[in-house]
Chain A
Amino acid sequence: MAHAAAPADAAPIAAALPETRDTKALHRIVFIGLAVLLAVLPFGLYPVFLMKVLCFALFALAFNLLLGYGGLLSFGHAAYFGMASYVSAYAAKNWGVTPEIAILAGTLTAALLGLAFGALAIRRQGIYFSMITLALAQMVFFFSLQAKMTGGEDGIQAVPRGRLFGLIDLSDDRVLYVLVALIFFGGLLLIYRIIHSPFGQVLKAIRDNEPRAISLGYRTTRYKLAVFVLSTTLAGLAGATKAIVFQLASLTDVHWSMSGEVVLMTLVGGMGTVFGPIAGSFVIVAMENYLAEFGAWVTIIQGCVFVVCVLVFREGIVGLVARKLRKPL
């Protein structure tokens, strides 16, 4: 494989637009706008639908942290999302812990799993990295299929939502929505902070030119592992929350098609944009909701969206807006 690395202009990421002071102001406006939307939307849309969007948006944000800023395409993120969902559901149902402990347990599981798998996967680059993450996730899938704890084909059903901190009853969708919205917003702020920290700058340097970052003295594998674990942890947070919301953890969550879905959300919204995955997950979840009755057509349409996005719409929704505004979003 003696090909030279792909030319720089072919990087998978929306061309880096310069960050200025107005950009910060713009981002602040976007954050405020999002917060207002989060507060207003439940009056117009079904809260369970919104919670689904938020869980997947957090999942896609976590995935995009790795792909868009670390330059690493993991094709097995369902493993972390799904395992966290199983552990959270199991803890809430069989140990009877409060929901925040269950979510924490799920998130921690995803972090540990991410540490183990990440350490393995970053030993190879590029396309091999994607194949390794996919294969490792498939291993998790088979484990979930066979293990007693996961309930096999049935999954873990009827998970109690419980009382937050033992005080606040979450069985009301509107109350739960507030919690999910807070988790989502917290996750988004954390990811924004990571991207704009010195750590994030080094990540971008590695993404754009790894040999150069190495020659500058950065231990790139440590940075890659760190961003991998951060990404899997947040993906786990999303999965663990999803298990509490839908009171269900099942094989769907660990299946490779889930890994594909999160890639699709990020692609549609805009890889390497901060806010893109949110738009992408809204579009994809809405599409799935409306097409649910058409069975296999959902897969076919998802496939078509993939093909169309890759061929003619690589920047994604938010990437397009950012280019029009000439500011990174």
Chain B
Amino acid sequence: MMTILGVPTQALFGQLLLGLINGSFYALLSLGLAIIFGLLNIINFAHGAQYMMGAFVAWMLLNYAGLGYWWALILAPLAVGLFGVVLERLLIARLYKLDHLYGLLLTFGLALIIQGLFRQQYGVSGLPYAIPPELSGGQRLPFMFLPNYRGWIVAFSLVICIVTWLVIEKTKLGAYLRAATENPTLVQAFGVNVPLLLTLTYGFGVALAALAGVLAAPVYSVNPNMGADIIIVVFAVVVIGGMGSILGSILTGFALGLVEGLTKVFYPEASATAIFVIMVVVLLVKPAGLFGKPA
């Protein structure tokens, strides 16, 4: 068996792949957070809960409606995104004139409610969700075994991230979004319906989180706490990357997932804290974040 630095290649690449998968989730989630923060100036603490909701909606579609993974991949983000639109219209929209911290507190409260309701209904032990038959099995590569579904997560997230980036950078809608991020008042004066743009942006960011949730459902068990665990790491990712750049948050997400995977191989005890340690180092060396503009 081949080894690199005393670690069997099979284990090394396996962990790297797992890291890349986590990185995909970090990228999708931090991308959504960054888009929402850019326009709404709100840190969406409910992002983790909405990611969890995506996984649960997929599970419900399968168990209550008999709709499989591919339907869930479309319907769950739509449903949770719609839920986000309702939240924004009813609650979040009332806070735009207030200090940012109220947005954080409100969405934190929402996260508690959502997680509590799911915990009350489904317990904390986690529900299984099978890998779709089209993606079961795997490829035997020269250096490792690649399960098809894991490859799919990484490829699909990458495509979604790139498409999102292209939409924001290259389309007219994206141009409105960027303009409104810079100066909402002026954009409104040009006749763009900024409140609608805010609502749609929030819905879209939430839908991205739900999409990550659907992708995660077959890998991790569907669990009411799955969002709370990941969201704090995603916050650290966002601090490291800085929310100023869309591409930056995507890159940081994937890179940090890889680093976390590497830590699991070489120093497993630190894998849970690796990203936080990196955050500390980045704060010391480049306080504005890797892609952030200095304040």
**A residues in contact (CB < 8 Å) with B:** 1-3, 6-7, 10-12, 73, 75, 120-121, 123-128, 130-132, 134-136, 138-139, 142-143, 145-146, 256, 260, 263, 267, 295-300, 302-307, 309-311, 314
Query: Known: A131-B43, A135-B236. Contact between A310 and B112, CB under 8 A?
Result: no
| Selected A-B contacts with CB under 8 Å, 16 pairs | A3-B41, A12-B98, A12-B99, A121-B283, A130-B101, A135-B235, A135-B279, A136-B280, A298-B116, A299-B112, A300-B113, A306-B105, A307-B106, A307-B113, A309-B105, A310-B95
Q: Tell me, in angstroms, the Cα distance from A311 to B243 when the chains sit together.
A: 26
B111 interface residue, CB < 8 Å from A? yes
- Whether a CB of chain A sits under 8 angstroms from the CB of B115 is yes
Are B106 and A310 in contact (CB-based, < 8 A)? yes
Identity of the chain A residue whose Cβ is nearest the Cβ of B288 in the assembled complex: A124
Number of interface residues of B (CB under 8 A): 52
Nearest 4 pairs between A and B by C-beta?
Answer: A306-B109, A303-B112, A303-B113, A300-B116
Chain B residues within an 8 Å CB radius of A260:
108, 112
- Asked if residues A2 and B182 are in contact (CB atoms below 8 Å), the reply is yes
Which residues in chain B, 64-117, are within 8 Å of chain A measured between CB atoms? 91, 94-95, 97-102, 104-106, 108-117
Task: Provide the residues of chain A in CB contact with B105, threshold 8 Å.
Answer: 263, 267, 306, 309-310
Partner of B239, one of A7, A128, A298, A306: A128
Binds A, one of B138-146, B193-201, B269-277: B269-277
Q: Contact check, A139 vs B109: say whether CB atoms are below 8 A apart.
A: no
Residues of B within 8 A of A3 (CB): 41
Closest to B98 in A: A10
Contact A296 B283, beta carbon cutoff 8 Å: no
Contacts of B120 in A (CB 8 A): 295-297, 300
Cβ–Cβ contact B97 & A10, under 8 A: yes
Which residue of chain B lies nearest to A304 when distances are taken between CB atoms in the complex? B113
Which partner residue on chain B sits nearest A9 by CB separation?
B97
Distance from B30 Cβ to chain A, minimum over Cβ atoms (Å): 11
B287 contacts A by Cβ under 8 Å: yes
Query: Which chain B residues lie closer than 8 Å to A6 at the CB level?
Result: 97-100
Contact A127 B283 (CB under 8 A): no
Are A124 and B287 in contact (CB-based, < 8 A)? yes
CA gap between A184 and B99 in the complex, in Å? 31
Q: A295-B120, A297-B120 are in contact. Are A124 and B112 (CB under 8 A)?
A: no
Residue of B nearest to A2 (CB): B182
Q: A127-B37, A295-B120 are in contact. Are A310 and B109 (CB under 8 A)?
A: yes
Q: A134 to B232, Cβ gap below 8 A?
A: yes
Q: Is B238 an interface residue (CB 8 A)?
A: yes
Cα–Cα, bound, A196→B279 (Å): 36
A-B interface pairs (CB < 8 A), number: 141
A12 to B103, CA, bound (A): 11
Residues from chain A with Cβ under 8 Å of B183 in the complex: 2
Residues in B whose Cβ lies below 8 Å from that of A7: 97
Residue on A nearest B42 in the bound complex, by CB: A127
- Measured in the bound complex, the distance between the Cα atoms of B280 and A124 in whole Å is 12
Produce 1/0 per residue, B235-247, CB < 8 A to A.
Answer: 1101100011000
Decide if B110 touches A299 in the complex (CB within 8 Å).
Answer: no
Q: Which residues of A contact B236 (CB under 8 A)?
A: 131, 135, 138
Complex contact A302–B276 (CB within 8 A): no
Q: Is the CB of A125 within 8 A of B113?
A: no
Q: Chain B contacts of A143 at CB under 8 A?
A: 273
With beta carbons under 8 angstroms apart, the residue of B38, B95, B99, B243 that contacts A11 is B99
Q: Which residues of A contact B238 (CB under 8 A)?
A: 131
Cα separation A256 to B99 with both chains bound (whole Å): 22
- Residue B295 CB within 8 A of the other chain: yes
Q: Which residue of A lies closest to B33 (CB)?
A: A131
Residue pair B102, A12 in contact (C-beta under 8 Å) = yes
Contact B113 A311 (CB under 8 A): no
Beyond A132-B283, A139-B273, A139-B276, whether A303 also contacts B110 by CB under 8 A is yes
CB under 8 Å from chain A, chain B span 188-235: 228, 232-233, 235
Output the least CB separation between B95 and chain A (Å).
7
**Residues of chain A contacted by B117 (CB below 8 angstroms):** 296, 300
